[in-house]
Amino acid sequence: MRFHSPSIQYFHAVRRTGSIRAAARLLNVASSAVSRQILKLEQEVGSPLFERTARGLTLTTVGEMLARHVMNVLQDLDRFRSDVASLSGAWHGTISIACIESLTESVLPDLIASHRSRNRRVSFTTEVMGSSDVLEALRRGEADIGIAIALIHPPDLRQVALKRFRLGALVAREHPLARRKTVTLEQCLAFPIIQALPELSIYHLLQPLIAQRSETPEPAIQANSIDLMRELAARGVGVAFQTQLGIIRLSRDAQLVFLPLDNAGSPVWSDLGIYVRAERTLPAVTDSFLQELVRELGERERRENAAYAQVV
């Protein structure tokens, strides 16, 4: 099922690899063939699509426009293929998800396992990365569904849903703060803290609050792994900060205690956005999984916020 011009696919490969010869290797054709297709394309568009450097090729403005079109075409072709296949029953395909680390502990494995138990034909590709990388992966067409901290609203992506979870401190059971119901940032800063590096979204959520204070605390540890921060907190090294979402099971094990954070009397929220490329229609199977994801996150948002409403 390859009824689109080779030039389309060649252009796409060249754009991704940034090199004609690399694209040729990827496509298992001669580099001359790729080169000619690109030249023909540029002639038809009437404008150069790449800037040639000694190192390879870079997109021009027109090239980026064409890249957008080509991505729309190829993604919609994917959707068509998937929908046709699911019509004939013998479906097999892949749902590709890019998300931040908070989801890996419970939300995503639960959902995928549940979906797989109902439909073995659908396979999944999940990649964990930072929030801005999630959005970039969607733009590049490397992921179908993206879950990231919602800081700014990107215009080329569609925000399918926005769920807010409380940000809180994570301490070991023996920690002096562990008996409290909620904590303030000031109370936490009296102890060694495990700070997130700027590549984690938590950094950008907490930094404005910390910057308001006159004295900036010296962090005991800086890390870029949610999991590592969690394990460090469990060993009593210090106070970690996390979204409430990622630590459900751990707090059930009572190794760790999650303390919702209060700032000037009001909760600190972490907004989780679910994103999809705007100029795109998802395959029916992917869309139904997306609906499940939104529903599940909505359910957890409701449940967890209700639980802490009781506490407060």
Partner DNA sequence: CAGGTTGCTGCCGTTTCGGCAACAGCTATA
Partner DNA sequence: TATAGCTGTTGCCGAAACGGCAGCAACCTG
- Please give the residue ranges that form the binding site for its own copies (CB under 8 A): 1-5, 7-8, 40-41, 44-47, 61-62, 65-66, 68-69, 72-73, 76-77, 79-80, 83-84, 87-88, 278-279, 281
In the bound state with its own copies, the residue whose beta carbon lies nearer, of 36 and 164, is 36
Q: Which does 32 bind (CB under 5 to 8 A by kind): its own copies, DNA, none?
A: DNA
Q: Which does 19 bind (CB under 5 to 8 A by kind): its own copies, DNA, none?
A: DNA
Stretch (H or E) spanning 13:
helix 6-17
Q: Which does 77 bind (CB under 5 to 8 A by kind): DNA, its own copies, none?
A: its own copies
d(CA 49, CA 42): 6
Q: Which does 240 bind (CB under 5 to 8 A by kind): DNA, its own copies, none?
A: none
In the bound state with its own copies, the residue whose beta carbon lies nearer, of 79 and 166, is 79
Minimum Å gap between C-beta 75 and its own copies is: 10
In the bound state with its own copies, the residue whose beta carbon lies nearer, of 3 and 252, is 3
Minimum Å gap between C-beta 43 and DNA is: 10
Minimum Å gap between C-beta 291 and its own copies is: 14
Minimum Å gap between C-beta 154 and DNA is: 30
Residue 115 CB contacts under 8 Å (≥ 6 apart), including other chains: 122, 124, 289, 292
Dihedrals φ, ψ of 55, to 5°?
A: -85, -20
Stretch (H or E) spanning 267:
strand 266-267
Buried b (16+ CB within 10 A) or exposed e, 121-132: ebeeebebbbbb
Q: Which does 252 bind (CB under 5 to 8 A by kind): its own copies, DNA, none?
A: none
DSSP-derived pairing of the beta strands 93-99 and 145-149: parallel
Residue 98 CB contacts under 8 Å (≥ 6 apart), including other chains: 126, 127, 129, 133, 134, 137, 138, 142, 143, 145, 146, 147
Minimum Å gap between C-beta 187 and its own copies is: 49
Q: Which does 228 bind (CB under 5 to 8 A by kind): its own copies, DNA, none?
A: none
Q: Which of residues 9-68 bind DNA (CB under 7 A)?
A: 14, 19-22, 28-33, 35-40, 52, 54-57
Minimum Å gap between C-beta 17 and DNA is: 8
Measured at the CA of 70, the angle between CA 66 and CA 74, to 5 degrees, comes to 175
Inter-CA distances, 224 with 117, 203, 229, Å: 33, 10, 8
DSSP-derived pairing of the beta strands 221-223 and 239-243: unpaired
Dihedrals φ, ψ of 219, to 5°?
A: -70, 145
Minimum Å gap between C-beta 95 and its own copies is: 19
Question: Rule CB under 7 A: which residues touch DNA?
Answer: 5-7, 14, 19-22, 28-33, 35-40, 52, 54-57
